[in-house]
Structures are given as structure tokens and as C-alpha cells.
Structure 1
């Protein structure tokens, strides 16, 4: 009999701040609700349980019981709330009045524990995220015992599948807590979705010190460095290439996680590719699909053009509506989408100056001829707020009719029209554990991206990339050849800069440092990074990639074929394959 798998996570389908929430919506569902459950903190200001009931987004929402966590003579009450999602999956939320009270995203700026922009952190209490993480980790084995005692969990063997450093300390707590005797075994495994870790000695919170002492943590080591040796199997991450990069690329070995390299080597590191994030529904008609299968892409061409015409209407009406409203900040005048030979580039995501590379794409656009493309940014501000995105505003002002920036979450219908009507999805990510290239294919867009992480696996680059070092360096081509054969049908364009080891080490440290933000008044992201040789080479290769995309768009049959090739890439990434890999390579079942 297979053990019960309980995903322990800070994100669920009801409290999603990024990619982890999307994974937690799909992976447990595909594993099966009878053999899975989820344990998560309840961020009360983010997850409205009454609304879930009212809008019937859950089959059941009920309070089960309350228990107490005793630390240093203080008893903290914890309520366990069961939510059953529409598929029957049980999510056990742990709620406590003194914890999980972030006003929104609980981990803004995960690299900087002292960010002054995050109201959830302050000099007196230190970093609240670390408090929440350690408290939750202490509470989990107690909650498991109570759930078993009350009959809500009947399995004799349990696998706790921990997600990222925020829940990793559960492995330490389990070793130090007596659980219910009916639980014959509890094994802990860890998936990391990013390279972040928490160095405990940098935190000044008395509670962090108390919770660390309660867990038996050494304060001068990080969470992951202490937890990884305790795991019952290898560490896993969300793509094969990201697993390779964590052990081999300068960004990780010299900047983000040099302290974890020995632990990765001893315990092992396994890349398990995510599945696709969306329903595999062909984005054009059945007729277009059948014609494309026989090598005729004319129907895709015409239907894609119709979607572009529709996008022009939607964008015109939406921009006029926003102008009349006068309350919502947008940058850029009304877009000119009338030229059929001019491609539309769609750039989206939540701003993180250490990951997303929006500055790389903006600087690349600066070097392109005026009128060669249209560029639409839908970027959610990160911990630097709107002020940190001023470089996008400058671009929009310099390129009227060409660039428009929406620094907020778009209406669903507008976002859908953008996906369908745009020519390319662009991802300039400095790093990307898995990435959203598949979402481009699902919407009918080839993808332009930096050759990093899971994006390398998801994008088969056009042959011109493999022949032009200005676009894709020798190292980038070597990465590509690990996953794509020379004859593979292209689904997009990959770019990657070529720099020396010394320039890469220095460049990454300067980029991750974000020194411009320490200035008073605040500096400009691009203004500082223009002086970094690594950044210079990044945006040069990105500009070359965008130029290639513009040229390829002129050959419409070839462009439409790339759209179909992207669709045909999707079967390589299924949740079924991911589940099989977790069972075989991680759980060893």
C-alpha cells in the first residue's frame, strides 16, 4: 500500500503568490485526492474562507479543532481548518492569531530580510516571514498527531513533501516531536522552486531566536544547510536543467547558494520537470489543426491575424476606458497595431529585480529601430513598487504608439485577448527554475527567452540562433544540445550572452546586490546595471534575439509553423511524467 503524501507548502490554489501555487493546484490533483492532502498556513488577509463557501469554490470549509504550541513557556493556539476543493482534495490550514498576518504576498523580496518597503518586516520584530516559517514548522508535526488522533488521517505511513525553505524546517521538527503511534513512519522530502535560503544569524527577531532554539537549529547556519542532511531522499527541483545549474552555474555556486553545494553533492539533487499550466486545448479551430498536421499552416496564419485585429479593438477600448477613469496608472499612448508586418511582443510577470530581467528586455528594445515592433508589458510591481519600474515608463515615453505598460493585474478578457493576439511571448529571466514558455504555446505564441533553467528544455530554438554567437553563445548552444537535436522543429528563440568566469562572478554579485536601491533618492535599475559588463552582454544578445524574431515574423508561413511546433512540444511536459519521476527518483517507491 502506497503511503499518503502530504504537501507542506506556503501556497495553495486558494493562496497563490507565484509558480508554487500553480503547482499545488495541479500536482496533488493529478496524484489523486485519496492519496494526497495539503498542509498550509492560513494567511487570513489573503484567503477568505467565507468567500470560498459563498462562491462555492470549495465543497466544504470547516473548523476541526484547536491545539497549542508551547515554546519557551508561551502557549500559542493553532486552529486547524479543513477545506475540501472541488476535486475532493483536502487542504488543512493552520491558523494562529499572532502569525500569518501579512497584508498580501508573504515573501516580498526573499533575498533581503531587511527590506524597508515591506510593512510586514520592521527593525524590532525582525523578519516576520522567518517567524511564520519556523512557527509553522514547529506546529506541523503536532497538527499531524492531532489529525491522526481525531481520525482525519488514517494512513500508517506518511510522506511529507516540503516546498522551499519556508517549510523545510518541518524535517527538523518531525525529528524532535513524538507523533501519534498509529503513524508508523513519517518521511520528509524537499522540493526547491528557487535558490533562496534563510541565514538565521542575520535576523534580529527574539521569536526567531526562540523558535530556532526550540528546533535545535544552529543560529550561524542557514535553514536549508541544516535540513538537507535530514531528508529521507535527494533534494528535488522543478526542471532537469535547473538542477544542473544549481550545481554548475556561477549565479548559484558563487552567489545564491555556495553554502549548499556540499549538501547537494552528498544528498543528491534531482530535476523533475513540471507539467503544463493550463488545459491542452488547441488555440485555433479544428480545421486549422487538421491542415497544420498535413503541413498547411495558412489557416493558423489567418486565424492568428483575426485574433490580432480583435486585440487592436480590445486594446483601444481598454486604454480609452482607463484614460476616462483617470485612476489607474498606465504608461504609453494608444498603441498602433495596424501594420501587419510589425510583430507584437508580450512581456509579463511579477517584478523581481534579481530574477525577471525586465530591464534586460527594456534595454534591448532601446537598441532596436523605431517602428520595428510593438511591446506590451503587464508587470505586477514587486517590493520596489511603481518607483522601481520607472525605467519602463521612460521607454514608453520615448516610444509613443509602440510601447505600453500596465503595472497591474489586467482584466481577464483583456489578458486573454493579449495572449491570443500577441505575436511572441518574451521572457528575459535572469534565471528561471521552470518558466512559462508552455503558456505561450497554449495561447498560440512562439517564445523568445534567455537560455536558462527550464526554458532551455521548453524551447527548441530556431536554427539561426545556433549559427549566430551574437544571439546564442557557445555555452548556450551546448545547453540546447543536451535537450534538443539539430533537426528538432523550432518553437521559439533562445539567447544567451558569452562572458568570462571573472566577469560573470562580479556581474552577478552586482546585479543581486541591487545597490541602486540603497541610494537616496532611489537610483535607476538600468542606470546602475549599464555599467555591469554581464548586463551589457545580456541585453545585446536579447536585442539580437528580438531582431531575429522581427525578421522571422515577415515569413508568415514559417512563423505559423513555429506556432504549431510549440503546440507539439506540450506532450513532453505532463504531470503524469512528473508524478512518475517523484515516485521513482525521489520517494524511491
Structure 2
């Protein structure tokens, strides 16, 4: 019997205010939870009014109106409702324009993020009572921004009759002062931190309150959080005494539906590879045509020579490689890719590269090194720092997707495979589970094999390529400190550091091998892609994820 009678998800990010992986999860998880639980699921999220995807208040029903303190003020909360069966979306909005004003993403409020997250948690806690004062809620809260709800529900170190499940999509956290808590009416004494009272963060105060099992979005990431120096000594060092024995990895499901036609995936094994290759060539031609017709406006600059790029692509002899996602120098590895691409093209690697970085906090200025890379290789590199409307054709038409992430809780490798494209990735987090690595006879294989053997049988059909730097370097916390404390470019840039250099070396070697396979063994390449599609489609489902989350709640 469940210890709660109403179920809800609390998330600071959603499809109505997307930034990264949380929004992708929120497209699928609430519905899967509803199906598995056999009832409706509520979702609480801020109304990030500056986001273009945000619903208009006039299109929402007003579910409740109440006040939440913010400093010396009582701020009116308008809890608005949108029914999308079986999901009830509840948007926390106010008439205070300084709250939930993030742009270009919901987290883009600078130093006010902690304030907004605490206000959100306090508003959700009050909203639960306003919607149903007798209910015992089971809450699935995502990351520290939503874990503030547990703090606001706490009384005397407990949140009875409710039950809160914490799901970590990353290891980020935020420091808390007594002042911050008092600003939104939360007593610090009701939610004392785990461990020493001298160290106060949202997660440290939430961990004693939430369910014993703390979930992460992949099994490998649950292991990484307590074993990888990047997390144990830097990102989550303060959490280490409180995580062992509590973590459970719940693998995400696939973020998209397969786009490879059924006549390919259901074809006989002898015919499917050739059909896939023909289909991918058509999609690549369409993608290149869309690239050449881009207007190249000031707010949507195109770095590289589109005409020369198209002419080079016309030969069909160059492997197209794609990297997309937000610009985050501390995670996504665009600088790592830039250094590797320079090396690969200087060595005459038969490849072209399309880079689709979504600018981060520094805007286009933070991507200057990609603009310079495209200028050095104008016919081989295109960089488009905006949302390219021909992305679906690119995703399907390219040979490989690149994911050189420094860490990746789950990762979107499944999106590439479901579009018929293989993946080259750094072996970390959920990427290790999504990619069955091609065996390589090189020194770089040691780290990959160590991680992959936990998830893939020796006889498993390879689906892509994983790389990993020298194990001795990656085990040094000080190497990670230096890497995170530096930027790419210049005499003191991170490209001069041994750890970064080792990553680039491994990335270059593995990419060269992957391109060679695409060029010299096209049928074997296509067979690998089809195996990857089946691996992610069958192995990562939202039904399974929902079942595991409910079991842990």
C-alpha cells in the first residue's frame, strides 16, 4: 500500500521552460508515472514568464490564490492549472516581475536563483495544502531547485504526512544562509542540515527529510557520484558522507521516438544496412541544402563557408559528424571537440563537422574559439550558435554524433541512435550504458573496458565508440581542479594541461577509427547503427523508469 494518496512531480524546468535534460525528462516521466500508478499526476513548476514556450496566464485556469512571504513582503501567488490528461500542470506565478524572470533559460537569473528556488518551494508547499488540505502527497522532486519544497514542508525535522523522493539529474547544489530561509518563511531549525551545522546547502538540509533512497538518472551516474574525483572532490564533495548506501540509479527512458522508417528497421538483416545507408544519404543531402540556404542574420550567424562546405560534402567521401547542445565549458566539452577537430583535420581526416552550440551565459562571445575554428577550416567546419530548423535532417544524415562530455548523468545518445546515427562519446555516466563500445587495440581502451564491462556482455554487438583519457591522470583530483579552474585558449589555457591533452589524444584516435569504419566498411557501420537503435529502444523505457521510481518512493 502506498504511503501517499496523491502523486506529484516538482521541477524547476519543464517543456514550457526548457534548458536541458530535465525538460526532456518532463515530456515523458509524468505521463509514465500516471500510467504506472493508475491515476492522475500533478506537476508543479514555475511560470517562467520570459520564456517563449511559457503558457499565457489567460489560457490557464486559476486554481488557487494565496500569499508567500518574501522578506518583509507578502507576495501573492497565482497557482494556475492546465489539464493535459492524465497530467495536471500547476504553474506557480506571481505579479512580481523579478521572480521567475529567467532568460534565455529558466536558470538565467544570476544570483537570484537561490531566492527564486526557495520561493518556489515555499509556494508549492502552500499550494499542496490549498489544493487538498487532507491529502498525503508523494512528491518526486528534481534537483536542488525543487528540493526546496521539502524544506518548506518540514516541521521539527519531519515532513509527515507527505513523502518526498529526491531525484538528482546532476550534482549541483546551492549554499544557504539562515537569512535566505527566513526570507520565505522557512525556519532553519525545522530543516537542520545533515552533518555539521557549519555547512548549509539546499541538499544538505533536504537529505534528512527525503525518502531514504536518493535516485539519479542512470546507474552509472550513481556510481560516478561516489567514485569519480570530479564529483567526490569538486562538485559533490560536501555530499559524500551522506550518499553512500542511499543512491539508486534509475535509467531514463528514450527522449524521442524512432525516426528511422519501419521498412528499414523491420527489413531482413541482409537488406537493412543498405537501406539505412541510402536513407541517410538522402537526409544528408537535404540537411546540406538547408545549410546552404540559411540567411546568416546577425542574431543567427553562420561560422564557416556554407558554399565551400556543400561542395566538399557533394563528393560523399567525407564523414559528417555532428555535435549539439548548450555551451557549458564545465560539462559539454565543446572546447575538447575544437582541439580534437583541429588535430583531425590537420592530419587529413576525411570528415566534416557541424557544431550547434546553444550560447551560455557569455553569449556569442564565449564561443569565439568555435568561430576561429570554422575560419581555419571553412569548408570542413560549420558552427551555428542557434536553433537550426533543419536539425532533424542533420541528426539523421550525419555519420556520428559527438558527445565529449566531462560528465553526463544520462545523456542524449539515444536521440542519435533513434535517428539512425551512431555515437562517439567520452565514457562517463549514462553514456557508458547507452553505447556498446567498439573494441579498440590501444592504450585508451583500458578505462573504457573497465566501465563498459559492468553493463555490456563481451559478446554484445558494438553500437558506437567510447573514449577515455589516461586512467592515472583522471584519478588525480588536482588535475580536475586545474581543469575546472581554467578556460580554453591562450598561453595558460586548459589545452596545455595534461588531463585535457590526454582526453584530446583519446578523442582523436577513436574518432579516426570511427571515420575509417564509416568510409571503408559502410555495411558494417550501418549494422552497428541498427544494433544501437535496438539497444536503446529496448533497454531504456519510461515505463521501467516510472516503476522503479514508484517502488523507491
Return 5+ residue gaps in structure 2 as ranges: none
Residue number in structure 2 paired with 1:94: 92
Q: CA deviation at 1:64?
A: 2.0
Q: Secondary structure at the match of 1:190?
A: strand
Check the 8 A contact 1:69/1:139 in 2, yes or no: yes
Residue number in structure 2 paired with 1:114: none
Check the 8 A contact 1:81/1:95 in 2, yes or no: yes
Residue number in structure 2 paired with 1:500: 472
Check the 8 A contact 1:142/1:177 in 2, yes or no: no
Check the 8 A contact 1:188/1:231 in 2, yes or no: yes
Q: 1:145 to 1:443 in 2, by over 3 A?
A: same
Which has the higher mean CA deviation after the structures are superposed, 37-46 or 355-364? 37-46
Check the 8 A contact 2:71/2:182 in 1, yes or no: no
Check the 8 A contact 2:67/2:76 in 1, yes or no: yes
Check the 8 A contact 1:9/1:39 in 2, yes or no: yes
The match for 1:558 among 517, 524, 533 is 524
The match for 1:307 among 277, 283, 302 is 283
Residue number in structure 2 paired with 1:273: 251
Q: 1:232 to 1:50 in 2, by over 3 A?
A: closer
Which has the higher mean CA deviation after the structures are superposed, 222-231 or 28-37? 28-37
Residue number in structure 2 paired with 1:29: 31
Residue number in structure 2 paired with 1:66: 65
Q: Secondary structure at the match of 2:457?
A: coil
The TM-score normalised by the length of structure 1 is 0.85
Residue number in structure 2 paired with 1:56: none
1:135 paired with 2:115, answer: no
Distance 1:128 1:389 in 2: 25
Q: Secondary structure at the match of 1:265?
A: coil
| CA-atom RMSD in angstroms | 2.5
Residue number in structure 1 paired with 2:44: 39
Q: 1:251 to 1:178 in 2, by over 3 A?
A: closer
Residue number in structure 1 paired with 2:217: 238
Q: CA deviation at 1:80?
A: 0.8
Q: 1:303 to 1:509 in 2, by over 3 A?
A: same
Q: CA deviation at 1:407?
A: 0.6
Q: 1:580 to 1:457 in 2, by over 3 A?
A: same
Q: Secondary structure at the match of 2:244?
A: helix
Question: Which string of whole-angstrom CA distances, capped at 9 and with x for unpartnered residues, describes residues 129-156 of structure 1?
Answer: 000111122222211111114xxxx8x4
Which has the higher mean CA deviation after the structures are superposed, 573-582 or 99-108? 99-108
Residue number in structure 1 paired with 2:170: 194
The match for 2:183 among 194, 201, 210 is 210
Q: CA deviation at 1:451?
A: 0.2
Check the 8 A contact 2:302/2:382 in 1, yes or no: yes
Distance 2:54 2:319 in 1: 44
Distance 1:502 1:316 in 2: 41
The match for 1:365 among 311, 336, 341 is 341
Q: CA deviation at 1:95?
A: 1.1
1:315-394, aligned counterparts within 5 Å? 315-318=291-294, 321-322=295-296, 325=297, 328-334=300-306, 335=309, 336-368=312-344, 369-370=347-348, 372-394=350-372
Check the 8 A contact 1:491/1:566 in 2, yes or no: yes
Q: 1:499 to 1:482 in 2, by over 3 A?
A: closer
Q: 1:29 to 1:357 in 2, by over 3 A?
A: same
Distance 2:185 2:324 in 1: 38
Check the 8 A contact 2:483/2:499 in 1, yes or no: no
Check the 8 A contact 2:302/2:385 in 1, yes or no: yes
Distance 1:134 1:177 in 2: 18
Distance 2:352 2:315 in 1: 10
The match for 1:575 among 537, 542, 546 is 542
Residue number in structure 2 paired with 1:509: 481
Distance 1:178 1:285 in 2: 54
Check the 8 A contact 1:360/1:535 in 2, yes or no: yes
Distance 1:225 1:530 in 2: 35
- The count of corresponding residues between Structure 1 and Structure 2 is 532
Q: 1:162 to 1:499 in 2, by over 3 A?
A: same
Question: Which string of whole-angstrom CA distances, capped at 9 and with x for unpartnered residues, describes residues 447-491 of structure 1?
Answer: 000000000000001122xx3223x3x232110000011111111
Check the 8 A contact 1:240/1:273 in 2, yes or no: yes
The match for 2:449 among 455, 458, 477 is 477
Distance 2:55 2:266 in 1: 46
Q: CA deviation at 1:367?
A: 1.1
Which has the higher mean CA deviation after the structures are superposed, 368-377 or 430-439? 368-377
Q: Secondary structure at the match of 1:425?
A: strand
Q: Secondary structure at the match of 1:247?
A: coil
The match for 1:162 among 126, 134, 141 is 141
Q: 1:385 to 1:463 in 2, by over 3 A?
A: same
Q: Secondary structure at the match of 1:162?
A: strand
Q: Secondary structure at the match of 2:92?
A: strand
Q: Secondary structure at the match of 1:298?
A: helix
Check the 8 A contact 2:410/2:431 in 1, yes or no: yes
Check the 8 A contact 1:360/1:539 in 2, yes or no: yes
Distance 1:379 1:456 in 2: 23
Distance 2:269 2:405 in 1: 32
Check the 8 A contact 2:17/2:105 in 1, yes or no: no
Question: Which string of whole-angstrom CA distances, capped at 9 and with x for unpartnered residues, describes residues 401-435 of structure 1?
Answer: 00000011111xx1111112111111011100000
Residue number in structure 1 paired with 2:498: 533
Distance 1:345 1:49 in 2: 33
Residue number in structure 2 paired with 1:407: 385
Residue number in structure 1 paired with 2:79: 80
The TM-score normalised by the length of structure 2 is 0.90
Question: Which string of whole-angstrom CA distances, capped at 9 and with x for unpartnered residues, describes residues 254-274 of structure 1?
Answer: 1111110111025x0000000
